[in-house]
Chain A
Amino acid sequence: MEVKRERIDPADLRVSKLRAHDMLRDDLEGEDLERHVEQRVVTTTLEKAVSWARGNSFFPLTFGLACCAIEMMSIVGARLDIARFGFEAFRASPRQADLIILSGRVSIKMAPVIRRIYDQMLDPKWAISMGACCSSMGVFNNYALVPADKFLPVSVHVPGCPPRPEALAHGILRLRDQVMGNPPAGWRQRYAAEGTEEFLEADSAAASPAINVFRAGDTAGA
């Protein structure tokens, strides 16, 4: 029987895992050890440390639009104290802030202003869309409002009208988890519900003989 020898790419996952095992067993020495440590261990720890620091030191922008702003002010209050997590330093200038909490309804007149403020913030920056109105039009699905996703990338949407201070704190802590590198799993992963999405299959678009079978998407007036 012929044995074929092939050169395996050192970046291959299996190879790096084996080398990691070797390192732990003290089998890697000298130059090999140093190179391995440089590649695998130091960078990830550094990234993780930086993300840990970033996640624990958000500087939110004082940005209140409407009713949700009052609930945002009460997370600074004494009952639900956001200073426990270190986020009480609300900065007035966007250049000094890295977290914009869009609290309230975004009207079409205000959207370009918000975009300018968001652009003035320095990287890395995050946006929390607080409340139903900026996440998804909320109570008022009409001509005057814009959902926040249309003009800036939002990291966390907090539902509620207005969300309780606890809900907003939960949203901020979820953002903190995301920033620190262990984002919470989406609900489809947690409940093993993969395959429940309603994507239209191209071939099922063909007319089916049954008259009362509606395709996903035929939600008239939903």
Chain B
Amino acid sequence: MASLTEDYRRREESITISSEPEGVGEAHELLTLNIGPHHPATHGVLRLLATLEGEVVRDIKPIIGYVHTGIEKTAEDKAYWKAIPVVERMDYLAYYFNAMAFCGAVETLLDIEVPPRAQYLRVIHLELNRIMSHLVWLGTSALDLGAISMFWYCFREREKVLDLFEMSSGQRMHTRYFQVGGVIEDIPPGFALKLRQFCRDMPNRADQYADLLSKNQIVVERLRGTGIVDQRTLLKLGVTGPLLRATGNPWDLRKADPYSSYDHFEFKIPVGTVGDNYDRYAVRHAEFYESTKIIQQALDGLPEGPFITPDRKVALPPRHELATSMEALIHHFKLVTEGFRVPPGEAYYPIEGPRGEYGCFVRADGSAKPARVHMRDPSFVNLQALPHMVRDGYLADLIATLAMLDPILGGIDR
């Protein structure tokens, strides 16, 4: 018996497993694995052709287009305010940002002022949407890593945010709340109270998420040190948003090139140091607190005034005026049937969304329909960084990196 154990022992020790693959030769086989488009971990219909050598990813090719909806073509067919719901559905977790970029571009072309109350309301809704988008990201990413209960906690908070959206606009998602010139309706009574309660609760909840995840051994081991790309490569690849901030570059359009009264608010930009997956997680997690701060300041300083531009050629008149004023009736009729006309020109309006720079390019040719709408979507551009992030890493790290990349296929495919 003893000799048998010794025999086994001797045989185990004589096997050498090299931990570093020595490169590609005929002794090493490359396996092409197709991940997706239907896969539980691809965050939408993303197809990845992974070239594997053992468990190590040598190359990856993302194939997209599985949810291409031709939104830009459809938007050319509709009047400007009818194109807003269509454009909203591009990046389906950041619908206010899509609408903001489009409305901002059209407002630039029309050269109209957005009243300060509308700007503050826009900021409130944009930051709520940022929190909601990060909640969904956190829930689904933790689900990918195996921390399944985070999904329910994050979606519980998300329901609170959607309740607020439902209070202000009547819809949970794709609310068409932002219109060219302002917002479609003022906030109802009770909204401010509920929003204050939310702002009080949100930092506590974010602390709870940090308690669960930030020092969790599995999270740290899976995310620390994986998916590192240096800042220069990311800048050359056009990556913006939390991915760039995780490498230490504090580029944020809300501070660098403020729009819609963001310069009235005091908030910090969380940055990382190394640029690995853990930093990306930490940056997005810290943005919960910063967004809550912005919402609180916006709510405290909410100015009185109109919620949409008083220019009746662009914004619908209030309904009580239709009974008394003939001009209001004519404006209403003109706006509803044909829509407002935009003088010819082109505009590119960039804003900072939860994934990076959303830039909407609108070309107007003088008619009531846009001649070209293009959304520079950050997920589309950030996806180009994925091969750099996962090269020479393990397949399991690919899943974690994909989760931390936060791709939204609606924005990628449009």
> Does residue B71 face the partner (Cβ distance < 8 Å to A)?
yes
Chain A to chain B contacts (Cβ below 8 Å), 13 pairs: A65-B67, A67-B173, A70-B92, A78-B152, A92-B39, A92-B40, A107-B67, A107-B68, A107-B69, A107-B413, A140-B74, A143-B73, A162-B173
Within 8 Å of chain A (Cβ to Cβ): is B262?
Answer: no
A70-B136 in contact (CB<8A): yes
Residue of B nearest to A116 (CB): B38
Which B residues, 32 to 66, have Cβ-Cβ distances below 8 Å to chain A? Answer: 37-40, 44-45, 65-66
Please give me the residue from chain A that is nearest to B39 by CB atom: A92
**Interface status of A213 (Cβ within 8 A of chain B):** no
Given A104-B67, A145-B70, A67 contacting B155 (CB threshold 8 A) = no
Contact B156 A78 (CB under 8 A): yes
Q: Mark A33-54, 1 if CB is under 8 A from B, else 0.
A: 0000000000000000000000
* B67 close to A139 (CB less than 8 A): no
Q: In the complex, A67 Cα to B173 Cα: how many Å? A: 8
Known contacts A79-B159, A117-B38, A139 near B66 by CB under 8 Å: no
Which of A66, A73, A145 is B155 in contact with, Cβ under 8 Å? A73
Q: Determine if B89 is an interface residue (Cβ-Cβ < 8 Å).
A: yes
Return the chain B residue nearest A71 by Cβ.
Answer: B173
**B410 interface contact, C-beta 8 A:** yes
Q: Which residues of B contact A145 (CB under 8 A)?
A: 69-70
Instruction: Choose among A70, A117, A133 the residue with the greatest number of B CB atoms under 10 Å from its CB.
Output: A70
B155 & A77 in contact (Cβ 8 Å cutoff): yes
A67 — which chain B residues lie within 8 A by C-beta? Answer: 89, 92, 173-174, 410
How far is A107 from B89 in the complex, measured between Cα atoms in Å? 14
Tell me whether B86 is interfacial, beta carbon within 8 Å: yes
Tell me which residues across on chain A come within 8 A of B156, comparing CB atoms.
77-79
For the A-B complex, the count of residue pairs with Cβ-Cβ distances under 8 Å equals: 100
Contacts of A143 in B (CB 8 A): 70, 73
* Complex: A94 Cα to B37 Cα, angstroms: 13
Number of interface residues of B (CB under 8 A): 35
Alpha-carbon gap, A105 to B71, bound state (A): 11
CA distance A105 to B409 in the complex (A): 12
- Are A144 and B69 interface neighbours, CB within 8 A? yes
Using Cβ atoms and an 8 Å threshold, which residues of chain A touch B92? 66-67, 70
Q: In the complex the two chains form, is B174's CB within 8 Å of A161's CB?
A: yes
Residues of B within 8 A of A71 (CB): 172-173
- Give chain A nearest CB distance to B166 CB in angstroms: 9
Task: Please give the distance in Å from B15's CB to the nearest CB on chain A.
Answer: 34
A92 and B41 alpha carbons, distance in the complex (Å) = 10
Name the CB-closest residue of A to B153: A78
Contact partner of A142 (CB less than 8 A), chosen from B73, B410, B413, is B73
* A109 contacts the other chain (CB 8 A): yes
Residues of B within 8 A of A62 (CB): 40
How far, in Å, is B158 (CB) from chain A's closest CB? 7
Closest partner residue, chain A, to B136 (CB atom) = A70
Q: Is A122 an interface residue (CB 8 A)?
A: no
B65 contact set on A, CB distance < 8 A: 107, 109
User: Quick check: is A56 within 8 A (CB to CB) of the other chain?
Assistant: no
Q: Which residues of chain B are near A133, meaning CB under 8 Å?
A: 69
Docked Cα-Cα span, A73 to B73, in Å, equals 29
B residues near A113, Cβ cutoff 8 Å: 37-38, 66
